[in-house]
Homo-oligomer: A and B are copies of this chain.
């Protein structure tokens, strides 16, 4: 990934927009902007940013309205939202947070403070990405960076697709992945492969690993378990 994360900033004051953009880009974020509530919603749907900074007082739709609309869509469950506002009264502070925002910052705010808060919020989701490294289940460990699978310190070489498939299953041991899920997550949505393809790869994995850790759930999918 080229950028640390993507951020959508919505404010009707052009100056503020630019100041924030400058500071966030300096930190390595990809920044999108919108200058009113309606535009913010449209932009959010298009670019699906990791975090959205919303001014509350905006034309067409207030930040709170935007927040409510986005929060009602499951696509934006994981999107972080920060309110930015000149209102400093306690009530709107609470209202903002309770409407599903993750943070609330009062204007005037120094760019540095804002950046710090953005970093603090994004630190959590970034960690998830980083952590998805080595998976260890029982005496099997899978290292996606080194592309190595080890069973009791014995290295096993898997082909790319086999590896991706195994890694997916092992990332949530016990959980059943539907054939469709597997296709989407390993092959992607735009590639169409025959039904037997998955089976053949599963077979090779089972064969190469020697251990029986991939279980078939007929009519449903496959799962990884020791």
Please give the residue numbers on chain A whose beta carbons come within 8 Å of chain B beta carbons, in ascending order.
77, 90, 93-94, 97-98, 100-104, 110, 112-113, 116-117, 119-121, 123-124, 127, 145-148, 159-160, 174-176, 217-220, 223
Contacts and interface: CB of A to CB of B under 8 A. Distances in A.
Contact of A160 (B112, B124, B159, B218): B218
B100 A123 contact: yes
B102 A120 contact: yes
B116 A94 contact: yes
Contacts of A219: 159-160
A222 to B, nearest CB: 10
Given A98-B116, A116-B93, A127-B77, A174 B146 contact: yes
Given A104-B120, A146-B175, 14 more contacts: A93-B113, A93-B116, A97-B119, A98-B116, A98-B119, A100-B123, A101-B120, A102-B121, A145-B174, A147-B176, A148-B174, A159-B219, A160-B218, A160-B220
Q: Within the oligomer, what is the number of copies of this chain?
A: 2
Contacts of A218: 159-160
A160 to B, nearest CB: 4
A112 B93 CA distance: 10
A146 B112 CA distance: 46
A103 B120 contact: yes
| The 5 nearest A-B residue pairs measured at CB | A160-B219, A97-B116, A97-B120, A146-B174, A147-B176
